[in-house]
Amino acid sequence: MYSKEELQRGLSTRLIGRKLFVFDHIDSTNTCAKALGDAGTDEGAVVLTDFQTQGKGRLGRTWNAEPGSNLLFTVLLRPQLAEETSNLLTFFAAVAVAKAIEFVTKRTIECKWPNDLLLNGKKCCGILLESSFKKNKLDYSVIGIGLNVNQKVFTPELSLSATSLAQECEAEFDRKQLLHRILEQMDFLYDDVRVGQFDRVLSEWQERSSMIGKSVTVSGYNNSFTGTVMSISTNGGLIIKTARGLATVYAGDVQINQ
């Protein structure tokens, strides 16, 4: 693992990553960042590790990543957002990470609703947003990012759907350079986002999404339905035209029907 000093050298952000917590291993960077949030730590703090023993994914899943090969980190933020719009922070992170990967690999990234980044149709990055509210206002959010960078081997269950930058580009990538680029993109986009202005983020996200106009099946905890994706709502939901009318979904797994 890089040291904190090494990671901060050359980082040109004003806010994001100015406070940095680095661990060789930890249970989950999101769990740690939430404890920092509860303790009143300033926004912009980043928790980074080489290995998680209890890495968390969306919908109660686990996030497993080979030690020392990937980027596993969480950013703590305190933007002035109402509860309904806080989900948009996932889009903010997705765009920042997508732009950084595109810069480093020269490949195009696809954004898949709600929280995945795809390279050549396979998932290379997942984002886990967790938020804490006080009186309908956001107190803090932690945005956890798991980016498969140099991992070459995936379990048989994952190998059909997951990939890494190294696997797709047949080259190894410098994790520190990539992390800097991501934090710098976030720092730039956060000027608008911190005051609830997501226009740029949503248009950058939609440019990288191929879901609009496609037939999809959305599976939730206990139901599933099919329809055509019309657009993304102003608070980050997926607007779907179904046989019974328009529906907006905020969570679930989406599969594009061929």
Q: Which of 16, 21, 29, 175 binds ligand BTN (CB under 6 A)?
A: 29
146 touching ligand BTN, by CB under 6 A? yes
Cα 75 versus chain centre, distance: 10
Residue with tokens 């009186």: 135
Q: Does 69 bind ligand BTN (CB under 6 A)?
A: no
Nearer to ligand BTN, 132 or 228 (CB): 132
Q: Which two tokens stand for residue 144?
A: 């956890």
Q: Which of 34, 58, 112, 208 binds ligand BTN (CB under 6 A)?
A: 58
- Is the separation of the CB atoms in 151 and 164 below 8 Å? yes
Asked if residues 80 and 134 have their Cβ atoms less than 8 Å apart, the reply is no
Specify the residue, 30 or 163, whose C-beta has the smaller distance to ligand BTN.
30
Beta bridge partners of 123: 118, 162
CA dist list (Å): 109 to 101, 106, 185, 209: 8, 9, 15, 9
Least Cβ distance, residue 155 to ligand BTN (angstroms): 15
CB of 241 to ligand BTN, least distance (A): 26
Tokens coding 16: 């994001």
Under the criterion CB under 6 A, does residue 122 sit at the interface with ligand BTN? no
User: Residue 181, Cα to own-chain centre: how many angstroms?
Assistant: 15
Nearer to ligand BTN, 2 or 200 (CB): 2
Q: Which amino acid makes up residue 179?
A: L
The single residue among 69, 86, 115, 185 that binds ligand BTN, judged by CB under 6 A, is 115
67 contacts ligand BTN (rule: CB under 6 A): no
Closest approach, Cβ 250 to ligand BTN, in A, equals: 15
Q: Which of residues 123-142 bind ligand BTN (CB under 6 A)?
A: 126-128
| Phi (first) and psi of residue 204, to 5 degrees | -65, -35
Closest residue to bound ligand BTN by CB = 126
DSSP single-letter state for residue 99 = H
Residues that bind ligand BTN (CB under 6 A): 28-30, 52, 55-58, 61, 63, 72, 74, 115-116, 126-128, 144-146
